[in-house]
Structure 1
Amino acid sequence: MESSGGVERAGSLFKEFAIEPRCEACLSTDIKHHPKSRLSGSVIYQCRQCGLRGLSTRPLMEDLAEFATTYDRDRYAEWVSITRTGQIDRDHAAVLDRINRLVGPKDDRSLFDVGAGSGGFLSMARDAGFRPAGNDLSNGAVDLARESHDIDLMLGDLADIDDPGQHDVVTLWCVLAHVPDGSTLMRDVLRVLKPGGLMYLQTPRWSAMDTMGMAAQDVARGRATKITDRRLGMHHMVLHTADSIRALLERLGYEIVAVEPHVRYTLTTASYLESLGFNERWRRRLGKPIDGLLDRDLFFRNVLDVYARRPLDS
């Protein structure tokens, strides 16, 4: 990705840079740009080869990092309060069990969680015998991790952490979509992994729901954008497919272990529906049946779980 000197967009808090006219995952130049959202002003590009969709202009990482410092402890705790904490704990436990099996027993196993938030996953990893480490851009997250779990996170971007080849496992729970340059982030992850070390990431997936939303935006020439604006914005700058995440990681030198779609919604149904503009009456009416589908694993598969390794000879 190359800077274009800053692209100002209506509704944006930041100066932005334009993505090169090629896919950031597979590097194909077979790109389609969808109509600009009349609400947010954003333009979504689509790679016709690997299926990745992403914002065509994005904020600078340093601006995002500065913005993250505005999230103090109370503001971050407020966000945590609308998450599905029970479901998140179950997902964390299932992933950690698989990581345990893939890494195997060894002395002094280190697990680094990128964007570790309030430290819940690292606390669980510590209980499973890993030496916990991690970082976050938010002062509020660092404070909560210390207060809630006695976990000391590093404050700052992974690129600024001098920890080469030190960790058996590096995890990223919904971090890749939040950064403007995923290739740089994943190179930094590879840098801090030991040779043969395991990387796990969860990232938002382009699903059938997104395809329907994109079709509506195309037909309405940028007017019907509730779904696409909710799924792709400053909070999610890319939505990967299985093909695109494989292309990205293999290009950077990872050995893929598994790529799997899952139904996994972090926020409560009421919070999602409110973000889509539904009033309280419709949130009550739709919430229960959607929760029922989620409980039975029958809703849109909205995330990818990815396991990959740093090659032993790298």
Structure 2
Amino acid sequence: MTRYREICNDLAQRVGAGTLQPGDELPGVRELAQQWQTTASTVSRAQRQLAEAGVLELADRRRARIAPGAVLAARRFLHAESIFTLAGSDDPALDLLAGALHGKLRIVTGEGSVAGLGAVRQGRADGAAVHLLHHTGVYNAPFARGMLRGLEPHLIHLWRREQGLIVAPGNPHGITGIADLPGLRVCSRRPGTGTRILLDRLLLAAGHDPDDLRGPQVGTHLEVALAVATGTVDAGLGVRSAATDLDLDFIPVTWEDFDIGLDKHALDPAAHLVDALRTPALRDRISALGGYDTSRSGDVTKVPDPA
């Protein structure tokens, strides 16, 4: 590794660790050159590189300062070649996120939210896309806290999305809500997925036994929409964007939080992902799919310990 790159990494690591805080002023170039036993030009080159990455702020005749967004920028710099592996739940908008990351996001979703958190726990994935409604009415945090216990779990907010019943154009069966599903052919997701858990919960609340539903189980929201479009089923619970893609009707049911559950050590490799989620252009593209709220996309929160 070249000397200037070593200096870049050293400063970025100190920012990431909190030793250097946004707004802190670095010593002069000559003093830093003495500390690192190198030349002033090498230090200047390292500072320019970090300034381009958003870690430092440079100004004529002033010493370098740590930039306001330096923590995320430092993580992004240190993990420029990292590929984040995402397991868990399915969502059509994830393809747009992957495209914005240019190969730095590997999606292995499809097993569902619970299995995704299990993959994180086992070290087979960096994060899990989840949308799990707890009996307390809170999404995702209770499940991340339980399944990632001892790993300092965090949540990265992807977006809020609208779930509802996907039905044929014109709604030939006159379906108005979950209570109308018994007796119809209904496509459902596999056990352990957030959408299946939501459907079962809604059926129970409506006074119906989820086990009485007739119809196939599928792996994605698009497959739910395809089953309706081909006439295989009369309805299925899924996201609005899947219905829109196939020109199907959609009966709104609820909005839910769609997050990434991960442990503390995966926050650094996730820096590129967080940065992309905060980009207005990507937010606009996701919102244009229909049924998405991206106003908090990219928010990172630590899952609180049990009260």
TM-score normalised to structure 1 length: 0.32
The one of the two structures with greater contact order (alpha-carbon pairs below 8 A, sep at least 6) is: 2
Structure whose CA Rg is larger:
2
TM-score normalised to structure 2 length: 0.32
